[in-house]
Amino acid sequence: GSSVSVALRTVATTLGALTLMVVVNWQLALLVLAMGPLILGPIMLFGRRVQRLSRASQDNLADASARAAESLQAIETVQAFTREAEERGRFGEAVETTFMASLRRIQVRAAMTALIFSIVLTGLIAVLWFGAVQVQSGAITPGAMTQFVMYAFVAVSGVGMLTETYTEIMRAAGATERL
């Protein structure tokens, strides 16, 4: 629920920053906008994988919970046949499988975040370099460049927040597929 309001607020802020960037210097703004497809590609690719891994994690957690509930409800039978050690071992394996599935999901999400931020920072450095060349040639003023950089940071932070929101939505979608 809160992700939707964060996403809407972030989209509005990011679009506002992009609009102001176009007003300040359209050439630099086009350079920033050219990074869009480079950022969206990994988000879509990794987002689907996070969704699949979330579903697997939820499946494993449900299996571990079911195993524990089954063993506890039939505790007299388990004890009558002295199967406590085997049931404990099976539950331990189920919990370990759940942990490994969650760990894989977290690793994929971390790789996605690292890749996206690397792309964003590389693009930002390119924009700053191009802007510095324009300031040096007198095409724009240092004040306009400073203004553009501030808007660019607002836009970049918005993209980062949207990335996090998207992965949370994909994670929730993976978890709700069980329903």
pLDDT tens string 51-82: 788 778 878 888 888 888 888 888 888 777 88
Is the model more confident about 50 or about 143? 143
Backbone phi, then psi, for 74, in 5-degree steps?
-110, 35
Percent of the chain with pLDDT over 70: 96
What is the average pLDDT value for the chain, to the nearest integer?
84
Range picked from 58-62, 112-116, 138-142, 160-164 for highest mean pLDDT:
138-142
**Predicted confidence (pLDDT) at residue 179 exceeds the cutoff of 70:** no
Token pair in block for residue 88: 């404990």
Which one is predicted more confidently, 11 or 169? 11
Describe the crossing of helices 142-176 and 2-24 by its angle, rounded to 10 degrees: 150
pLDDT tens digits for 27-45?
999 988 888 788 778 877 8
d(CA 173, CA 86): 35
What is the spatial distance between Cα 68 and Cα 76, in angstroms, rounded to a whole number? 14
- Interatomic CA distance for residues 50 and 91, integer angstroms: 25
Mean pLDDT confidence for 145-158: 88
Per-residue model confidence (pLDDT) at position 147: 93
Predicted structure pTM score:
0.66
Cβ atoms of residues 53 and 111 within 8 Å: no
The reported pLDDT for the residue numbered 41 is: 82
pLDDT at 49: 83
Which residues, in sequence order, are CB contacts of 21 under 8 Å at separation 6+? 28, 29, 32, 148, 151, 152, 155
166 versus 64: the higher-pLDDT residue is 64
